[in-house]
Amino acid sequence: MKPKTRIRKTSQKNLDKTHQVYLVPGFFGFNKLGSINYFNRVNELLQSHLAKHSINFEIIEVETQPTSSIRQRALSLMKAVIARQGHKSAGLHFIGHSAGGLDIRLLLTPGVQIDESDYEAKIARKTKTAITLETPHYGTPLANLFTDFSGRHLIFLIGLLMNSIPARLSTLLISKALGLATKSSLLKESLVTSLSDSIFENIDLKKSNKIWRFIEAVVQDQGALIQLTPEAMDIFNAAVSDQSDIQYYSFITAAPPPKFNAQSMNLRGAYNLSNRSLYLIANLLTRRKRSNYSYPKLSPALKKRFKQRLTFEINSNTNDGLVPTLSQLWSQVRNIYVADHLDVVGQFRSDQHANSPLTWMDSGAQFSEENFQQLWKEIADLIIKVSNR
Q: For residue range 171-213, what is the model confidence (pLDDT) as tens digits?
A: 555 455 545 444 444 444 444 455 555 555 556 555 556 665 6
Per the CB < 8 A criterion, the answer to whether 148 and 267 are in contact is no
Reported for 370-376, long-range contacts at CB under 8 A and 24+ positions apart, including other chains, are: 371/337, 371/338, 371/339, 371/343, 372/41, 372/45, 372/343, 372/344, 372/346, 372/348, 373/45, 375/251, 375/335, 375/337, 375/344, 376/42, 376/45, 376/46, 376/49
pLDDT tier at 115, thresholds 50, 70, 90: confident
38 residue type, one letter: Y
Residue 178's pLDDT is 47
The closest of 328, 304, 356, 344 to 250, measured between CA atoms, is 328
**Given a cut of 50, is residue 2 above it in pLDDT?**
no
CA distances for 81 relative to 85, 104, 110, angstroms: 6, 11, 17
Report residue 293: phi and psi, to 5°.
Answer: -135, 85
Per the CB < 8 A criterion, the answer to whether 265 and 329 are in contact is no
**Given a cut of 80, is residue 285 above it in pLDDT?**
yes
Higher pLDDT, 151 or 363: 363
pLDDT tens column, 286-335: 988 766 888 999 999 999 999 999 999 999 999 999 999 999 999 999 99
Domains of the chain (ranges; CATH) run 12-162+224-389 (3.40.50.1820), 164-206 (no CATH)
pLDDT tens column, 90-107: 999 999 999 999 999 999
CA atoms within 13 A on the CB side of 231: 8
